[in-house]
Structure 1
Amino acid sequence: MAIKNNQIVLMQYELKANDNIIESNLDGDPIEFTYGKGQLLEGLEERIKDMNAGDEKEVTVPAYEAYGEYDKSLTEQVPINEFEGIDLEIGMILEADGDNGEIFKATVTDVTKEEVTVDYNHPLAGTDLTFKVRIKSIV
């Protein structure tokens, strides 16, 4: 029987971006989620809806249905003196509290003597994602 809303699904998966494996639990314990509750990327959830327990398939979720298109306006240059005491490196993920108490993350993309360029896009923004999915069980 195919997956329906509010069913508990046990799933194993492998996530690839640009032909690189980002994450995999194919050899480990499956994840558990309730279908239709927004616990998975919407684009992935839509592509597994016709799967049954025991099914395996590969699906591609385009960037706009995954973490969105890359938005250049979500980068900014910040004076380096605001990072005093931090050993900055390109690729470093910084965390800060937003005005509403929400934690947000930014990736350091450039460091000069005067300023630091930070990127607030999700690291996978603008990237199509390929999932190999195995449905272990549906309850």
Structure 2
Amino acid sequence: MSIKEKQNITLNYELKLNDEIIDTNMDKESISFVYGSGQIISGLELGIKDMNEGETKIIKVSPKDAYGEYDEKLSETLDISEFEGIDLQIGMVLEAENDRKEPIRATVTDVTKEHVTVDYNHPLAGCELEFKVIIKSII
């Protein structure tokens, strides 16, 4: 039986970026979600649409169907005084709230004596992703 809207899907996956595995649950507990609910990225959801229980498939997902294109405008340089008391490191992820009290995350991309550059893009923005997916169950 192939996947249809509102069905509970259980799967295992391996995620590659530039031929390097960056995430996997192949030897771990499967993930479960409701198909069509937006719980996984749209490109992966579309890629598994016609799969059947027990089937394995390689799915390539473009940036626009994953975490979006990289947007240079989502990087900003701030005065280091705004980060007083924080041991800043390049690659560090900072969490804060925006004006509407919604959580936001930013990655530190540069630190000087006077400034800190942070990037609000998702770490996988602009990346073509490759998933190996095994459908464990369709309910």
Fold match by TM threshold 0.5: yes
1:98 corresponds to which residue?
98
Instruction: Tell me how many residue pairs correspond in the alignment.
Output: 139
Query: How far 1:86 moved relative to its partner?
Result: 0.5
Letter in 2 for 1:84: E
SS in 1 for 2:137: strand
Q: Tell me which moved more, 18-27 or 127-136.
A: 18-27
1:73 corresponds to which residue?
73
Q: Is 1:57 equivalent to 2:57 in the alignment?
A: yes
Query: How far 1:16 moved relative to its partner?
Result: 1.1
Letter in 1 for 2:48: I
TM-score normalised by L of structure 2:
0.98
SS in 1 for 2:104: strand
For residues 106-121 of structure 1, what are the structure 2 equivalents within 5 Å?
A: 106-121=106-121
Cα distance in 2 for residues equivalent to 1:20 and 1:80: 35
- The CA deviation string for residues 25-83 of structure 1, in whole angstroms up to 9 with x for no partner, is 11111100000010110110001000000000111001111000100000000000110
Question: Can you give the 5+ residue segments of structure 2 that lack an aligned partner in the other structure?
Answer: none
Cα distance in 1 for residues equivalent to 2:29 and 2:46: 23
1:11 corresponds to which residue?
11
Letter in 1 for 2:26: L
| Cα RMSD, aligned residues only | 0.6
Letter in 1 for 2:54: G
1:28 corresponds to which residue?
28
Same amino acid, percent of matched pairs: 60
Cα distance in 1 for residues equivalent to 2:29 and 2:53: 15
SS in 2 for 1:51: coil
Letter in 2 for 1:50: D
Question: Can you give the 5+ residue segments of structure 1 that lack an aligned partner in the other structure?
Answer: none
Cα distance in 2 for residues equivalent to 1:111 and 1:48: 42
